[in-house]
Amino acid sequence: MSSLSDKQERHYPSVWDKPPFISNSLLRWGIILGAIIYLIAAIASMEINPQRLMEGIPRGQRFIASFFPPNFADNRGVVWDGILESIWMAIISTVAGIALSVPIGLGAARNLAPFWVYITCRSIIAGSRTFPEIILAIFAVKLFGFGPFAGFIALSLGTIGFFAKLLAEDIENSSESQAEAVKATGANWFQWINYAIQPQVMPRMIGLSVYRLDINFRESAVVGIVGGGGIGATLNTAFSRYEFDTAAAILLIIILIVMVLEYASSYLRKWVQ
């Protein structure tokens, strides 16, 4: 009798448990065990030096204290120049990057391009996406010399990987029937692209280009660290001259501009759609 009630107990548990996230228990415990082993190995190889960390605490306090109050007054001209240079750099590299992205994006859409064009364009996109803008900027500085031109080249190349990929995906998802309808009227290739594909992808692309402008401005704050001009160069100088109050002011200005851009881009996207 008791074995039966045991069985019933097992079949109809009186306490409800949440179903586990991964239903296969072997896989679940395998993943948990693997994660624990990895974490131990990873943390062990980090070479945390407790003594150095203890020294770091007062240093960190002094460091953060030296940020306040942010100094907007000194070097005002330099900071202002850097900000403007970053803004112009972000605008021009977004425009150039998108201009380059459109043909590459068209070529990377499987439903438009022959196979060899598709492969070529996809490899360009993959290459541009793999390397962060900083690495592109290092090479651009080597080739074109110090200054905003190198930053402009790096950001434009970075834009291709982002914009062309999303454009190609959007074209691949666009409605076949509209494309066919325009083709049936006897449209040539350019008319076909312009009247069948372009209206379908345009609203999303406008939103994305504002988003990319926002990214390019943020990135322009770091390409300066490797010599690519813009506010990053000013920020780097402030850090290496230990003018942390100026650095704090620059960081605050960057945060403010990014907030404004983000608000503007979400507003524009709502307006377009």
Q: How far is the CB of 64 from other proteins (least distance, A)?
A: 8
- Contact in structure between 190 and 269 (CB atoms under 8 Å): no
By beta-carbon proximity to other proteins, the closer residue of 171 and 231 is 231
Residues 26-85 that bind other proteins (CB under 8 A): 38-39, 42-43, 45-49, 52-53, 56, 59-60, 63, 84-85
Q: How far is the CB of 200 from other proteins (least distance, A)?
A: 14
Give the position of tokens 């082993």.
37
Stretch that binds other proteins, among 108-116, 124-132, 163-171, 205-213 (CB under 8 A): 124-132
The C-alpha atoms of residue 119 and residue 127 are separated, in whole angstroms, by 12
Q: How far is the CB of 219 from other proteins (least distance, A)?
A: 7
Q: How far is the CB of 147 from other proteins (least distance, A)?
A: 5
Q: How far is the CB of 2 from other proteins (least distance, A)?
A: 33
Stretch that binds other proteins, among 3-11, 87-95, 166-174, 180-188 (CB under 8 A): 87-95
Q: How far is the CB of 238 from other proteins (least distance, A)?
A: 11
Listed residue (230, 83, 79) closest to 153, CA to CA: 230
Residues 159-188 that bind other proteins (CB under 8 A): none
Residues 216-255 that bind other proteins (CB under 8 A): 218-219, 221-222, 225-226, 229, 235-236, 239, 251, 254-255
Residues that bind other proteins (CB under 8 A): 18, 21, 38-39, 42-43, 45-49, 52-53, 56, 59-60, 63, 84-85, 88-89, 91-92, 95, 126-127, 130-132, 134-135, 138-139, 142-145, 147-149, 152, 218-219, 221-222, 225-226, 229, 235-236, 239, 251, 254-255, 258-259, 262
